[in-house]
Chain A
């Protein structure tokens, strides 16, 4: 297991925001709000085009948390702040930094600051906490 420490940079993960992915996001999140699949509705709302919903960003953050901290790390807290729209046609990139590694009641937690950006700049501010898998699995029960 990696010994994480504050200041560690987490590798960039990219995801192209195609129209097909926007359709997958409707199927995957069951959010039928028209701005997320209907060009005209998106324009009428003041947006440039179709943009992705909150749950999609939570899903991408969840994927990033496990790619960075292991398949068996358990996400404890996730805060996703929508700063600018994530439009189709862009590529979304997640980058992160370890803020703190702490232990509470024998549980090892890592706090992370993550930014999701497109070529227009940062769109989404993410903070999350993961619980790392315990070193001694025999003593843990859930």
Chain B
């Protein structure tokens, strides 16, 4: 597997977007999200309660950032991803290491969001118990229709060639 070339390194800092998210921030998707983990927090749906707090009204669960930007699976459309720029053909597997999100303000129902995606980190070749490859960090930054930054999502991934499995293990 090659060490990083200048072409690989030139990808760091490159930005894709801004692109619109497919649906406005909406109550139905927020409810599905809360049902999933049995989240009973009334601040997401009870307008009278939410208005009585310092947060001045209902809003969608902050960790929904990525859910807002996932595209419909139908009709199928090939969309560009910063991962396409990496050109690591020897590394067919990807695993999530960790995800860091920051939330700057509440995301209100009816908001229409846009996001940019940027490669913010690419490691030299590393070998872990999974195999040999590169740690890649991709940061999405989300804005609302007023141009306010509402949050970021940084996904740290290991893109690798799986180590051969030993027989009997």
Say yes or no: A58 contacts B99, CB within 8 Å: yes
Give the size range of A's interface with the partner: 35 or more
Say yes or no: B56 contacts A142, CB within 8 Å: yes
Q: List 20 A-B contacts (CB under 8 A).
A: A21-B36, A24-B32, A28-B37, A29-B70, A30-B67, A54-B99, A56-B37, A58-B101, A59-B63, A62-B37, A62-B62, A71-B43, A74-B103, A75-B103, A78-B101, A79-B98, A79-B100, A80-B100, A81-B98, A125-B98
Q: A55-B64, A63-B41 are in contact. List 13 more A-B contacts (CB 8 A).
A: A15-B37, A24-B35, A55-B66, A56-B36, A66-B41, A71-B41, A71-B49, A76-B103, A80-B98, A82-B95, A134-B54, A141-B56, A142-B56
Q: Is A61 an interface residue (CB 8 A)?
A: yes
Chain B residue contacts of A42, Cβ below 8 A: none
Binding site for B on A (CB under 8 A): 15, 21, 24-25, 27-32, 46, 54-56, 58-63, 66, 71-72, 74-82, 125, 133-134, 137, 140-142
**Which chain B residues (22-60) contact chain A, with CB distance < 8 Å?**
29, 32-39, 41-43, 49, 53-56
Chain A residue contacts of B61, Cβ below 8 A: 59, 62
Chain B residue contacts of A137, Cβ below 8 A: 53-54
Chain B residue contacts of A55, Cβ below 8 A: 63-64, 66-67
Say yes or no: B36 contacts A27, CB within 8 Å: yes
For chains A and B in complex, what number of residue pairs have CB atoms within 8 angstroms?
Answer: 116
State the main secondary structure of chain A at its contact with B.
mixed
**Which chain B residues (74-112) contact chain A, with CB distance < 8 Å?**
95-103, 105-106
- Which of these, A30, A56, A60, contacts B70 with CB under 8 Å? A30
- Which of these, A59, A74, A79, A141, contacts B39 with CB under 8 Å? A59
Say yes or no: B73 contacts A32, CB within 8 Å: yes
Answer whether A133 and B98 are a contact pair too, CB < 8 Å, given A55-B66, A59-B37: no
Chain B residue contacts of A27, Cβ below 8 A: 32, 36
Say yes or no: B36 contacts A74, CB within 8 Å: no
Chain A residue contacts of B54, Cβ below 8 A: 72, 133-134, 137, 140, 142
**Considering the complex of A and B, which 7 residue pairs feature the smallest CB-CB distances, nearest first?**
A28-B36, A58-B63, A81-B98, A63-B39, A72-B53, A30-B70, A28-B32
Answer whether A133 and B53 are a contact pair too, CB < 8 Å, given A30-B67, A54-B96, A74-B106: yes
